Structure 1
Amino acid sequence: MVMDTKERILEAALLLFSEKGYLGATTKEISRTAKISEVTLFRHFQTKENLFINVIEHYSFLPKLKELLPELKDYPLEDSLKTLARTFLESLRIKKALIRIMLSEFPRYPEIIKKSYQKTIENIHNELSQYFQKIQKKGLIKETLSSYLLSQAFLGLFFSYFHAKEIKGLNFRESLADDEIIEHYVEIFLKGIKKESPLKET
């Protein structure tokens, strides 16, 4: 299947932005990599800022999350969370180089990019918080907890793991495989760390 022009531009932009950052990559280089003219690039994405915003949105976790959540509705809760975590980590790894360079460049981005990035993150949390609301209505988790904060806490666990291991390259005393990390983190998220007191005999 031949990739359409817009998809080619986005793929080329991801590649160049990941290598040189938003500040270093040029639309001329992106056009050349996509094998199109710069005029064609601007016909699809009016400005470099608009192109970068589209790359962030297109390769964010949001499209995959929207696709995945309906498939999880009949899964046991623990299995659903493990699947979400695994898919989230895969999504981060696809754009690892871009994330690394964005973390260093972000303070120098135009305000429109910062606001768009924040909106994308909020949309991800809004989508996942709706999932947690449905789980709360089923009585599987406490209804008193903020579903939005549950989303932040859940994704935050795995982003911090990804950031430390993949971006910073840190080595920890306990070096576990992803599946083991997911197993532990999901258990911590679901059950917390407080040990239940045994029932007193009457």
Structure 2
Amino acid sequence: MNVGNGKLNTSDKILLVAIDLMAEKGFKTVTTKEIATAAGISEMTLYRHFGSKKNLLEQGIDRFHYTWEMQKLFKEKLVWDLQTDLLLISKTYHEVMSRNGKMFLITLKERHNLPGIQKKMKNYPQQLKEMLTDYFTRMQVRGKMIPTNPETQAMSFIWMNYGAFMTNLIADEPFTDVSMEEFMTTSVALFARGLTP
């Protein structure tokens, strides 16, 4: 996992170390002392930045999830061509989700033990669904997409990408010889073709 610009502040460094250790040992098993030691800081510094191990995990989820990158994409990078836009959305989604795979696995494991995490896990896909629904609605208004239920198409697109991500994330060995790049290009082309007037 990385944070993009290569420069880590103390909080990001703690978060990255914590995510690695939580993924390796489990949230319940890893201690704040182990996290602090691995991050090269005192346990007191960890508590000053995050207050608790639970808060550390929750801030990690907020810091490294895809929502802010997707919001920027939807605000600044759309060209209003269905296939081009959907391919960019798909590639961005997979890039961020793959980069943050460890965080995603931790949240899946801990969602029932920590109710705040379960709520966060629902918020991110909900926000992506809203962005995609709005995009599909606007594409219909522009006459660049067939009349259909925009929310249904948003969910179909999310499930297509989420399914591919999960298959790769949890597979012990490659599920297929088809590369992720080929999957995205082909599936987005088919998806766009089906929605283009």
TM-score tier (shorter)? 0.7 to 0.9
Whether 1:57 and 2:62 are equivalent positions in the alignment is yes
Whether 1:27 and 2:32 are equivalent positions in the alignment is yes
One-letter amino acid of the structure 2 residue matched with residue 191 of structure 1: R
One-letter amino acid of the structure 2 residue matched with residue 156 of structure 1: W
In structure 2, the partner of 1:175 is 177
- Equivalent positions of 1:103-118 (< 5 A) are 103=108, 105-106=109-110, 108-118=112-122
In structure 2, the partner of 1:43 is 48
Q: Give the match's secondary structure for 1:3.
A: coil
Give me the whole-angstrom Cα distance separating, in 1, the residues matched to 2:7 and 2:180: 34
**In the comparison of the two structures, how many residue pairs are matched?**
190
One-letter amino acid of the structure 2 residue matched with residue 177 of structure 1: S
- Equivalent positions of 1:43-192 (< 5 A) are 43-74=48-79, 76-103=81-108, 105-106=109-110, 108-147=112-151, 149-169=152-172, 171-172=174-175, 175-192=177-194
Q: Give the match's secondary structure for 2:156.
A: helix
Q: Work out which of the two has the higher radius of gyration on C-alpha atoms and give 1 or 2.
A: 1
Whether contact under 8 Å (1:21, 1:102) holds in the other structure is no
One-letter amino acid of the structure 2 residue matched with residue 92 of structure 1: M
Give me the whole-angstrom Cα distance separating, in 2, the residues matched to 1:158 and 1:84: 10
Provide the alpha-carbon RMSD of the alignment. Answer: 2.5
Which moves more between the two structures, 124-133 or 53-62? Answer: 124-133
How many Å apart are 1:65 and its aligned residue? 0.8
How many Å apart are 1:129 and its aligned residue? 2.9
TM-score by length of 1: 0.79
* Identical-pair percentage: 26
* CA distances 1:138-190 after superposition (whole Å, capped 9, x unpaired): 2222454133x433221210111122233124655x63222221122113322
Stretches of structure 2 lacking an aligned partner (at least 5 in a row): 1-5
Give me the whole-angstrom Cα distance separating, in 2, the residues matched to 1:68 and 1:107: 28
